[in-house]
Amino acid sequence: MDIITELKKSNLRGRSGSGYLTGLKWEMVKGAKALKKYIICNASEGEPLVYKDYYILKNHLKEVLSGIEVALNTFKKSQAYIYFKPDYYKEFRRKIPKNIIVFKKEKEYIAGEETSAIQAIEGNKPEPRVKPPFPTEKGLYGMPTLINNVETFYYVFKIFQKKYNQERFYSIQGDIKNKGVFELKDNLSIQDILKKTNNWPNFDFFVQAGGGASGEILLSSELKKSISGIGSLIVYNTKKTDPYLLMEKWADFFINNNCDKCVPCREGLFRIYEIIKEKDLKNPVLKDLFLVLEKTSLCALGRFSVKPFSSLIKKWDKLKFPSIIKK
Ligand code: SF4
């Protein structure tokens, strides 16, 4: 079987959040001329309240390893790594076959970014590299490198087996009864996902879609559109949520998990935190900070860190938080 043709036909997109077409990525690595190629399975999901890859490792490790094996057979003279976050490393490293090197990531979220992972494996500080060059051309030790996450390798194997039916895994958490990870069709609406999993609330709520830190805030009236590329949903009971505390948590997470490499992110996030602490959401500096972070941060952490704050503040009046909470 020509797996690259099959991956392209399937339209599978990487499940790390970037949504890059997997077949194209594999084709680039395959086509690159080099003495050696590397494969990295990124098992370092780090957004708060997201356990999707953990669920897959726990329940479908064999399929993930088989997906990596398909890559090893596709790229001649290649070496595979699994890049685990610390707790996953502890739990799964002994279950990995000897031909795959296991590597323990640093605890910070940014160490899971693909070029940070390459830096870490090379023994450097895990901080993002400027792209281009992309890892497919110049990755680990300067060689073409395929980086896919756990879920992507799982579906690569499904495609290899001809059993892929356009599904994805959804991690659903928050103020709901039926928390967990569910495999459903890609491109459902959030409303459908919550209903199909018995998680549609009977109270006022809003949703954070795309991760417990960088996910966007959506009103309950905004959930009917079909979505694709979002594997994490967190449901918040509006009446029981203190939005200032929530924003402090996000800011705290980003401050403690960025790499300090560039000024907009390092200093900007700290200023955002201070303004939120002061409950001064009308401060015009806040908008400037959002703009600078979005436009000038070196990597996606800085650029996307703005989304939860700006979306929550924009929808504040519609959310109708309890009157005790003043903007
Ligand atoms: S945006 Fe933040 S995490 Fe990314 S390189 Fe700059 S300081 Fe590091």
> For strand 205-209 and strand 216-219, is the pairing parallel, antiparallel, or unpaired?
antiparallel
297 shares a domain with 211 = no
46 within ligand 1 shell (Cβ under 6 A): no
196 shares a domain with 78 = no
217 shares a domain with 268 = no
pTM: 0.95
b/e sequence 61-93, b meaning 16+ C-beta within 10 Å: eebbbbbbbbbbebbeebbbbbbbbeebbeebe
Q: What are phi and psi of 287, to 5 degrees?
A: -65, -40
Q: Which amino acid is at 44?
A: S
191 shares a domain with 99 = no
C-alpha span between 55 and 294 (Å, rounded) = 32
Domain count, the chain: 3
Ligand 1 centroid to 199 CA: how many Å? 35
Domain boundary residue, one of 221, 240, 259: 240
154 shares a domain with 55 = yes
10 within ligand 1 shell (Cβ under 6 A): no
251 within ligand 1 shell (Cβ under 6 A): no
Q: Please report the pLDDT score of residue 229 as a whole number.
A: 85
Domain boundary residue, one of 107, 130, 160: 160
C-alpha span between 68 and 81 (Å, rounded) = 9
C-alpha span between 308 and 204 (Å, rounded) = 19
Which sign, positive or negative, has the C-alpha torsion 13, 148, 252, 303? negative
C-alpha span between 113 and 303 (Å, rounded) = 13
Ligand 1 centroid to 301 CA: how many Å? 6
C-alpha span between 221 and 233 (Å, rounded) = 15
Q: What is the mean pLDDT of each run of 10 residues along the chain (327 residues)?
A: 96 90 98 97 95 97 98 97 97 98 92 95 95 96 98 98 97 97 96 97 96 96 90 96 96 95 95 96 96 96 96 95 67
Which sign, positive or negative, has the C-alpha torsion 9, 10, 11, 14? negative
**CB burial class (10 A; 0-12, 13-18, 19+) of residue 235?**
buried
Residue 274 maps to which CATH number?
1.20.1440.230
Max CA distance (Å), the chain: 65
Residue 308 lies in a domain: yes
214 shares a domain with 282 = no
305 shares a domain with 232 = no
Residue 52 lies in a domain: yes
Side-chain half-sphere CA neighbours of 314 within 13 A: 12
Q: Which atom in ligand 1 lies closest to the alpha carbon of residue 297?
A: 1
Tokens of 24: 């194209």
Residue 325 lies in a domain: no
12 within ligand 1 shell (Cβ under 6 A): no
Residue 44 lies in a domain: yes
Domain boundary residue, one of 184, 219, 240: 240
Residue 198 maps to which CATH number?
3.10.20.600
Side-chain half-sphere CA neighbours of 14 within 13 A: 18
Q: Return the best residue to mutate from 116, 130, 131, 265 for the ligand 1 pocket (most ligand atoms within 8 A of CB).
A: 265
Residue 150 maps to which CATH number?
3.40.50.11540
Tokens of 295: 């436009």
Whether 205 contacts 231, CB under 8 Å: no
Residue 198 lies in a domain: yes
90 sits in which H/E element: helix 86-92
Residue 326 lies in a domain: no
156 shares a domain with 7 = yes
117 within ligand 1 shell (Cβ under 6 A): no
152 within ligand 1 shell (Cβ under 6 A): no
**Closest-CA residue to 39 (of 130, 114, 124):** 114
Residue 155 lies in a domain: yes
C-alpha span between 111 and 127 (Å, rounded) = 6
298 within ligand 1 shell (Cβ under 6 A): yes
68 shares a domain with 139 = yes
Nearest CA to ligand 1 atom 6: 262
Q: Which atom in ligand 1 lies closest to the alpha carbon of residue 293?
A: 1
Q: Please report the pLDDT score of residue 16 as a whole number.
A: 85
85 shares a domain with 13 = yes
Q: Please report the pLDDT score of residue 107 as a whole number.
A: 84
182 shares a domain with 143 = no
Residue 236 lies in a domain: yes
Q: Which domain holds residue 65?
A: 3-160
178 shares a domain with 119 = no
Mean pLDDT, rounded, of the chain: 95
